[in-house]
């Protein structure tokens, strides 16, 4: 406890600058800087505090749980006539990795990450991971009500439109697989490494339906490459899928 108390006041110009940046993101001056510094510390730094790893990963777990609960509560109140299946689907769309990555990117959270890894090697999910860790830090610092206010401010108000979300596709791959199963078509994803001259590893995907190549995708992860190829293929069959 004494260790945490010492960290409540910034001890350097770096901490002062970090607090100013935080205030512009979360809208208030944090009570305890310790939680927030931890939320922006990458596991590559390999710090240990009180015998425990000092990085954002446990806070990410905590933030993910409270984000789910607060979004579920919002949907429960704002879609009173909808069933459990609908509410679950809508929550999944709001807290999808793609959506959280966009929010984290819009907030420019990686600017404040302390890491020994170059930013270009982080991977796309770092944006959503840090965002969830920040939510975890806010909960520990300000409690549930502070966490709820923050999520309403940066997630619900700017990004949640229930009518638009109803028609939003979060996984083109899932839609395409379901369509092929329904139409008894064989779908195949042929994945291979495609590094070319780039430093970062890339994967390419050829998507075939009934042994005919329909589309291709390329990205830094297999999952993302499959989704890109699936999205392209979806538009080839859109009129048939939406019937």
User: Which residues are tagged catalytic?
Assistant: 64, 132
Dihedrals phi, psi of 209, to nearest 5 degrees:
-125, 120
**Burial level of 208, CB count in 10 A (0-12/13-18/19+)?**
middle
CA distances from 80 to 84, 98, 152, 242 (A): 10, 27, 19, 27
Number of Cβ within 10 Å of residue 58's Cβ equals 15
* SS3 call for 54: strand
Dihedrals phi, psi of 184, to nearest 5 degrees:
55, 45
* SS3 call for 129: helix
As a whole number of angstroms, the distance between CA 21 and CA 89 comes to: 34
As a whole number of angstroms, the distance between CA 137 and CA 28 comes to: 13
């Amino acid at each position: 406890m004494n260790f945490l108390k010492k960290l409540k006041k910034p001890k350097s110009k770096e901490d002062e600058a970090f607090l100013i940046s935080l205030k512009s993101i979360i809208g208030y001056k944090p009570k305890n800087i310790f939680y927030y510094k931890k939320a922006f510390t990458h596991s590559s730094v390999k710090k240990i505090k009180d015998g425990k790893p000092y990085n954002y990963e446990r806070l990410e777990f905590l933030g993910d749980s409270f984000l789910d609960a607060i979004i579920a509560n919002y949907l429960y109140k704002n879609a009173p006539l909808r069933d459990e299946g609908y509410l679950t689907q809508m929550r999944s769309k709001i807290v999808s990795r793609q959506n959280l990555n966009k929010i984290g990117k819009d907030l420019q959270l990686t600017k404040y990450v302390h890491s020994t890894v170059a930013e270009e090697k982080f991977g796309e999910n770092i944006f959503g991971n840090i965002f969830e860790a920040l939510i975890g830090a806010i909960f520990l610092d300000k409690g549930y009500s502070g966490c709820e206010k923050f999520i309403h401010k940066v997630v619900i108000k700017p990004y949640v439109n229930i009518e638009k979300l109803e028609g939003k596709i979060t996984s083109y791959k899932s839609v395409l697989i379901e369509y092929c199963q329904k139409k008894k078509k064989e779908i195949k994803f042929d994945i291979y490494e495609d590094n070319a001259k780039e430093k970062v590893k890339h994967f390419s995907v050829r998507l075939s339906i009934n042994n005919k190549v329909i589309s291709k995708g390329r990205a830094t992860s297999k999952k993302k490459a499959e989704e890109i190829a699936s999205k392209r293929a979806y538009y080839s069959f859109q009129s048939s899928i939406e019937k």
